Structure 1
Amino acid sequence: MIEVVVFPWLAFGHMLPFLELSKRLAARGHAIAFVSTPRNLARLPPVPPHLSSRLRFVSMPLPRVDGLPDGAESTADVPPEKIELLKKAMDGLAAPFAAFLAGGTKPDWIIHDFCHHWVPPIADEHNVPCAAFMIVHAAFVAFLGPRWANAEYPRAATEDFAVAPGWMASQSTVAYRRRSEAEWVAGMFRANASGVPDIERVWGMFERSRLIIYRSCDEVDPGMFALLTDLLRKPAVPAGVLLPPVVAAHDRDEVLRWLDEQPRKSVIYVALGSEAPLTRKNLHELAHGLELADVRFLWALRKPAGLFDSGGSAGDRGVLPDGFEERTRARGLVCTGWVPQVAVLAHGATGAFLTHCGWGSTVESFAFGLPLVMLPFIVDQPLVARAMEEKGIGVEVARDDTDGSFDRDAVSAAVRRVMVDDEGKVLASNARKLQEILADEMVQERYIDDLVEHLRRY
């Protein structure tokens, strides 16, 4: 048995795949301690009873930081401009985490996230090895590169990030083509309100971890893990795509009941995550585009920070265009509450997914063979969109190359290409082929077995 401490970043897009990995390890008889803050732990889905004896949760209250809203413990609780303060608060968990390690049985491993540059030094004091688990697109990790590669091929100006780095010259499509996208990545190399530039967190984590684990596999990213092993000078270990289970809903909520009434493959599911930097103009153009496309849609409209409060409809507070919900009621549903995304993607009425291309959402779409309409914003999302375009399973909404803006006509055109035009049939066929490859559970489980073997060996 291996004892593992698992410590994700304070974002549900990170905590959920960390939990999925924890469950896979616990199912093999290993003991897992999952560390997070009280409110986040309370919001995680329940662990299957047969795993509860091997998967325990360790709660660490988040220190207060000036400027961070009361009760904010995850990126879902704060607007984008406050996320750096959340990192500062998480840095305050260093002392409690050190006390936790000193006060209990020494684990065999700590598996941590991208921003935990202070975990490996603490672990070294207790002679515990660390592994980083990267839940982003593997190509994004290669694009960032280690400290030595950035010293050899320095980047500073925004334009430097609009092309593939020198160590990836053979993969010239791995780049941030739009200025707005490149500017976001360039910001990772600059000072921020947390006191530590993001790239310093990442480099520190790379340098002090013995293994780097990825939520991916050779079938999705062929050749990438050999490149990453050479680049980071330590094993790149794919854990498989960790597809979440589809849990049967005993009580069909409003969303699923509505889908039950729609024809097969007739609905495009729209969800842009909880962290996309959406403006009111973005939302209005997206809404008008869906209206112009004249197809059935289900829109999981997450709360954009500061735009509207939870509960009620979006339209009555001006977030969506006046009368939009009334005009589209016969063929569309807007939901501002919780939506069971995996169940929606699995539903027979869902024919495509309009997504921000977060890696977690993209992986979930793989499980059900859905073609994509893609509207990326930040982090690895633009790189994911390019990769899915190359695989022939998605169409990106046309954007302005300078500021990343888009209009209703571009949204409508992309939606119709996927949902109405013959091109959509080709995209759907390609998506189903990828689904068939990734549906081989024996192959995916073998990645976890290989990971366990690495944990034993290193």
Structure 2
Amino acid sequence: MEAVAAGAIGDGMEIVVFPWLAFGHMLPFLELSKRVAARGHTVSFVSTPRNLARLPPVPPHLSARIRFVSLPLPRVDGLSEGAESTADVPPGKDELLKKAMDGLAAPFTAFLADAAAGGRRPDWIVNDFCHHWLPSIAAEHKVPCALFQIVLAGMVAYMGPRWANNKSPRMALEDFAVPPEWFSVSSTIVYNPHEAGWLAGCFQPNASGVSDIERLWQINEQCHVAIYRSCEEIEPGMFALLANLFQKPSIPVGTLPPSHELVDDGEIIRSDILQWLDGQPPKSVIYVALGSEAPLSAEILQELALGLELAGVRFMWALRRPDNTNTDVDGHNVLPNGFEERTRHCGLVSTRWVPQVKVLGHGAVGAFLTHCGWGSTLESFMFGLPLVMLPFVVDQPLVARTMVERGIGIEVAREEGAGSFGRDGVAAAVRRVMAEEEGKVFASKAEKLREALADLGRQERYIDDLVDNLRRYKDATYN
């Protein structure tokens, strides 16, 4: 994809979007870009060369309105050659990726200056959580900024603004495992003690030199509006709370389903995964996927496998190689000896890419065992699937508790101390959702949520409201 300068087409707004270097961020930013472009506005999508080359293609009717701006990523000691996204680095190295991304401040400044000098000053810059240096650059050119949060909106409220944390500081690890006093929406949506370390770590400086919370606070304090990949149907009352906490408009944009995967790709021969599902009874299979970046170990995969075997239900498992194993080790090789042979009559394990949306939408799939990444969870809503939840880090624990509160699934039981889980807990959770009477209740509530979100007119109005707000606040900010 060729680097180009920002430029308006017609009478629409010119909007620059700049996501964090993770595909879980870039893809929602691209979906938002497509929906904004479809309304007659021009979007300049900023990222690094390798990331832009790996994005899915833009529909032809939008190609003139979505332009790709390529900024080469500076080299940083400790990052391997060609590492441009979190998918390219081992666990713990994303801090160095943030340090490298901070080096994009100068080339982004040059890009913005060139656009302004050419009479093509953007109307808005939509940026991510980690660009703490960007709003001040935008302000020099009198361009307003919007922060787009692609995580559960409730996690942003749980983290809280600077003033709330200063008023009620969280010092010890256990302070992060109770709802903060300003989090008025629920007393059960909370990090458990074994999960709180991740959140506490966000408040500490890292290898990039800036803590994650400091990045987020600086951006939230300087941006003019905040945008959330969520909606009132999923998180009722949350956006009023966020507007009050951060003292700025907090705008939901709906679920942004991945439209590129919903289009018939014209494949002549269906994949072996879909062919296998074709041969299974309706709603009989639980789809198992723990995302691309959840911290997995061989022990976790072993217990999960043995739990699926004990549950005795049909399963389709998108298996990823565990962390901290030799790169030559295939995911299949970390499974218990004989597991695939013993479960061949009822299960399929794939270590190749899986068309997740198509699998979730297949009639044979009746539930989803998930790490509760927000993107995967939103995809499950499209098909009304009940959930078996095994969260790890980031917003995943809060997503799980939110879904438990909504009654659409259950978590795999974990020990209170270390947070470990075993095969028996996996089997019990899977049976409750897939084989016991209680599963019908979960499925019914998941279907009701699907029906609420299936109102495409309502979802489109969220985007219309965003565009209206961007027009309104653009005119009020620098004019």
Distance in 2 between residues matched to 1:455 and 1:181, nearest whole Å: 36
**Is the Cα–Cα contact under 8 Å of residues 318 and 349 in structure 2 kept in the other structure?**
yes
Partner amino acid, structure 1, of 2:18: F
Alignment match, 2:470 = 455
**Is the Cα–Cα contact under 8 Å of residues 153 and 228 in structure 2 kept in the other structure?**
yes
Cα deviation code 1:105-136 (max 9, x no counterpart): 21100001111111101111111100000010
**Is the Cα–Cα contact under 8 Å of residues 26 and 32 in structure 1 kept in the other structure?**
yes
1:195 to 205, 209, 233: 209
1:260 to 278, 296, 303: 278
Alignment match, 1:10 = 21
Alignment match, 2:256 = 242
Alignment match, 1:66 = 77
1:136 to 151, 172, 179: 151
Distance in 1 between residues matched to 2:325 and 2:347, nearest whole Å: 22
2:226 equivalent to 1:212: yes
Partner amino acid, structure 2, of 1:203: W
Distance in 1 between residues matched to 2:252 and 2:29, nearest whole Å: 14
Distance in 1 between residues matched to 2:468 and 2:122, nearest whole Å: 16
Structure 1 gaps of 5+ residues are none
Query: SS at the partner of 2:57?
Result: coil
Within 5 Å, give how 1:423-442 maps onto structure 2: 423-442=438-457
Higher mean alpha-carbon deviation, 52-61 vs 228-237, is at 52-61
Alignment match, 1:405 = 420
2:52 to 36, 41, 45: 41
Query: SS at the partner of 1:164?
Result: coil
Query: SS at the partner of 1:166?
Result: coil
**Is the Cα–Cα contact under 8 Å of residues 315 and 324 in structure 1 kept in the other structure?**
no
Query: SS at the partner of 1:168?
Result: coil
Query: SS at the partner of 2:227?
Result: strand
Partner amino acid, structure 1, of 2:201: G
Query: SS at the partner of 2:190?
Result: coil
Distance in 1 between residues matched to 2:82 and 2:330, nearest whole Å: 25
Distance in 2 between residues matched to 1:335 and 1:308, nearest whole Å: 19
Query: SS at the partner of 1:413?
Result: helix
Cα deviation code 1:307-364 (max 9, x no counterpart): 2547x95233xx2112222221221111112111111111111111000111111111
2:333 equivalent to 1:326: no
**Is the Cα–Cα contact under 8 Å of residues 135 and 219 in structure 2 kept in the other structure?**
yes
What TM-score comes out, normalization by structure 2 length?
0.93
Structure 1 vs Structure 2 CA RMSD: 1.3
**Is the Cα–Cα contact under 8 Å of residues 286 and 367 in structure 2 kept in the other structure?**
yes
Distance in 2 between residues matched to 1:30 and 1:230, nearest whole Å: 30
Higher mean alpha-carbon deviation, 253-262 vs 22-31, is at 253-262
2:104 to 86, 93, 96: 93
**Is the Cα–Cα contact under 8 Å of residues 359 and 365 in structure 2 kept in the other structure?**
yes
Alignment match, 2:331 = 314
> How many Å apart are 1:170 and its aligned residue?
5.5
Percent of aligned pairs with the same residue?
Answer: 69
**Is the Cα–Cα contact under 8 Å of residues 271 and 299 in structure 1 kept in the other structure?**
yes
Shift in CA distance, 278/313, structure 1 to aligned 2, threshold 3 Å: closer
Alignment match, 1:373 = 388
Distance in 1 between residues matched to 2:380 and 2:307, nearest whole Å: 22
**Is the Cα–Cα contact under 8 Å of residues 109 and 128 in structure 1 kept in the other structure?**
yes
Alignment match, 1:304 = 322
Partner amino acid, structure 2, of 1:194: S
2:309 equivalent to 1:291: yes
Distance in 2 between residues matched to 1:256 and 1:308, nearest whole Å: 30
Partner amino acid, structure 2, of 1:250: G
